[in-house]
Amino acid sequence: MTSPLKYAVGLDMAKNKFDACLASIDPTQKVTIKSSKSSVSNTLKGFAEMESWMKKHTAVDVPIVFCLEATGIYYEPLAWYLHEHGYSVSVLLPNKARHYIQSLGLKSKNDKIDAKGLSIMAVQQQLKLWQPVSTQIYRLRQLTRFYQQLQESRTMYRNQLMSFEYSRLQNETVIDPLKEIISFIEVQIKEISIAIEQALREDPLLWKKAENIATIKGLGTISIATVIAETNGFELFENLSQLVSYSGYDVVQNQSGNRVGKTKISKKGNNHIRRILFMPAFNVVKFKVNPFLNLYNRVYERTKLKMKAYTAVQRKLLILIYTLWKRNEAFRNDIHPEMGTRLLSFR
């Protein structure tokens, strides 16, 4: 029997459990599914159980890599566990994994099939190894997500207060506590916004890059911090298309034969990024910052839809943030006038 050259474990993660599939490849490039394990608890006990199962089916002297999808935050505890125990770990963007699994002819979709596809992909390819995000970016994500939750709560309570204040019979027993809650949330929002800026400043490189991005008039510290935190400092992205897709700004065509339906963004991606870029898109147009103003005018003239034009501006903002981050340079509209034009095309 031919000895394997490499093992790979595909891990399909969910909130409370995950599925695992072990594959091997031999010198003839034959891929063999060695074993699979379903419904493993997404806890330390489950991680140890999966590790014991893996060791039972693998040879000690053969390299092994673990492959996971970046689904929310559910993959992170296991990725950290494997990294800390000295294993090679690859974390893929969901779209990249999905397209590869489809190319294998696996038409059905369930946790077991996804784990199998990930194991085959990892055993056949030399995937980029995952490195944990810095403590600073991890902390930044916790802060920015809490900031967003506070803002959403404030909006909800403000709406409730308005409905009570404009009702025929006003009840101070309800109105006064609502005002107190809103005031408390506003204090928390201010404190968290200060903490977010401090988290950026504590890392000189992070703060320098954030300062460069902040040269885009209308784009504030909270928006910049959120994009950085939600993309893990853009670590997983190899190109702009991956970033656009991850954020849900990829364009979905709706056309068949002579019928041409509406073209829209997929919205299948990180909604934290789309939410935080909503207001900056208005700001850069309001402040007449190019190339955003020109883009807005072009899309609006063609579609007569303001929100579609603002969405195009959001996507261009994201692309520009990514480019400035990678190049470590400040924004100049004479240098970056048409950046990402092809990706931003709305037809």
Q: What is the mean pLDDT of residues 92-115?
A: 75
Distance CA 245, CA 315 (A): 10
pLDDT: is 220 or 70 the higher one?
220
Confidence band for 252, pLDDT divided at 50, 70 and 90 = low
Range of the domain at 160: 135-202
User: Which of 11-25, 140-154, 201-215, 225-239 is predicted with the least confidence, judged by mean pLDDT?
Assistant: 225-239
pLDDT: is 346 or 329 the higher one?
329
CA 38 to chain centre: 26
- pLDDT surpassing 70 at residue 222: yes
| Residue located via tokens 């073209």 | 263
Average pLDDT for the chain: 87
H/E stretch holding 98: helix 94-103
pLDDT value of position 335:
58
pTM, full prediction: 0.74
- pLDDT surpassing 70 at residue 263: no
Can you count the helices (H) and strands (E) in the chain?
13, 9
Say whether both 245 and 291 belong to one domain.
Answer: yes
| Greatest Cα-to-Cα distance within the chain, rounded to the nearest angstrom | 84
Say whether both 48 and 62 belong to one domain.
Answer: yes
Summarize pLDDT for 281-340 with one digit per residue, the tens.
999 999 999 999 999 999 999 999 999 999 999 999 999 999 999 999 999 876 554 444
Summarize pLDDT for 165-200 with one digit per residue, the tens.
888 788 889 999 999 999 999 999 999 999 999 999
Whether residue 301 is contained in a domain is answered as yes
Say whether both 214 and 320 belong to one domain.
Answer: yes
State the Cα angle at 335 between 331 and 337, rounded to 5°.
Answer: 90
Distance CA 7, CA 204 (A): 40
124, 159, 181 - which closes a domain: 124
Whether residue 102 is contained in a domain is answered as yes
For the chain, give percent helix, strand, coil, nearest 5.
55, 15, 35
Q: What is the mean pLDDT of residues 247-264?
A: 59
Whether residue 1 is contained in a domain is answered as no
pLDDT value of position 266:
67
183, 202, 221 - which closes a domain: 202
| Residue located via tokens 């709560």 | 153
Q: What is the mean pLDDT of residues 13-39?
A: 93
Non-local (6+) Cβ contacts of 333 within 8 A are 289, 290, 291
Whether residue 129 is contained in a domain is answered as no
As a three-state string, the secondary structure of 185-216 is HHHHHHHHHHHHHHHHHCCHHHHHHHHHHCCC
Whether residue 130 is contained in a domain is answered as no
Query: pLDDT > 70: what percent of the chain?
Result: 90
CA 28 to chain centre: 37
Give 216-266 as a DSSP string: STT--HHHHHHHHHHTGGGTT-SSHHHHHHHTT--EE--EETTEE---EE-
pLDDT value of position 133:
77
Say whether both 213 and 346 belong to one domain.
Answer: yes
Say whether both 215 and 336 belong to one domain.
Answer: yes
pLDDT value of position 208:
95
Whether residue 157 is contained in a domain is answered as yes
Q: Which domain CATH number covers 68?
A: 3.30.420.40
pLDDT value of position 17:
94
Residues in the chain: 347
Say whether both 160 and 293 belong to one domain.
Answer: no
Say whether both 13 and 59 belong to one domain.
Answer: yes
Token pair of 344 as six digits: 């931003």
Say whether both 143 and 236 belong to one domain.
Answer: no
Say whether both 52 and 96 belong to one domain.
Answer: yes
> At how many degrees (to 10) do helices 204-213 and 306-327 cross?
140
| Through-space distance between the first and last CA atoms of the chain, rounded to whole angstroms | 56
Using DSSP, state whether 7 is helix, strand or coil: strand
- pLDDT surpassing 70 at residue 52: yes
Total number of domains in the chain: 3
pLDDT value of position 256:
41
Residue 133 vs residues 72, 137, 310: alpha-carbon distances, Å = 14, 6, 31
- pLDDT surpassing 50 at residue 257: no
Confidence band for 237, pLDDT divided at 50, 70 and 90 = confident
Whether residue 167 is contained in a domain is answered as yes
202, 224, 250 - which closes a domain: 202
Whether residue 91 is contained in a domain is answered as yes
pLDDT value of position 106:
64
User: Rounded to the nearest 5°, which phi and psi values hold at 255?
Assistant: -145, 140
Using DSSP, state whether 69 is helix, strand or coil: strand
Say whether both 266 and 342 belong to one domain.
Answer: yes
Say whether both 209 and 188 belong to one domain.
Answer: no
H/E stretch holding 162: helix 135-165
Say whether both 189 and 225 belong to one domain.
Answer: no
pLDDT value of position 260:
45
